[in-house]
Amino acid sequence: MLLRLAACLAIVTATSAAPVRADARSDARAQVEFGIDVAQRGLWREAIYRWQRAVEIDPTYAAAFNNLGVAYEHEGEFDKARGAYEKALQIEPENVQIRQNFELFKEINDRRRSANDKP
């Protein structure tokens, strides 16, 4: 009886956790989509706010971290951009688009740093 109860509890927990995750992702996705919309209109600070909200809601959302990387890069916040891209790649290491963004970012960042390091 106790075993049956434990099994039922496990099933209930498993089935209820999935919708919670799905809800988090769908809330985060709404923030991401809104962020994309405003970024396309040039409102990058607002986009950053939305994508920050998205990663707070769902810290496993690679796309949101990628978008944050792009936005920080656009704002000249290079350390934050690097952090966001690295996080996105940590979550989705095989994502070609994130990798491509990161490579382009690194190219500019390296050039900027070597220029600043010159005596």
Binding residues for other proteins, rule: CB under 8 A, are 29, 32-33, 36, 39-40, 62-63, 66-67, 70, 73-76, 95, 97-98, 100-101, 104, 108, 112, 115-116, 118-119
Find the shortest distance in angstroms from Cβ 46 to other proteins: 14
Q: Count, in order, helices (H) and strands (E) of the chain.
A: 5, 0
Nearer CB in complex with other proteins: 13/40: 40
Instruction: Count how many Cα atoms sit within 13 Å of the Cα of residue 38 in the half-sphere of its side chain.
Output: 16
Closer CB to other proteins, 22 or 104, in the complex: 104
Nearer to other proteins, 16 or 40 (CB): 40
Which residue's CB is nearer to other proteins, number 1 or number 42?
42
Q: How far is the CB of 19 from other proteins (least distance, A)?
A: 20
- Measured in whole angstroms, the distance separating CA 44 from the mean position of its chain's CA atoms is 15
Report CA-CA distances (Å) from 25 to 58, 81, 82, 90. Answer: 6, 22, 23, 18
Is the Cβ–Cβ distance between 50 and 32 less than 8 Å? Answer: yes
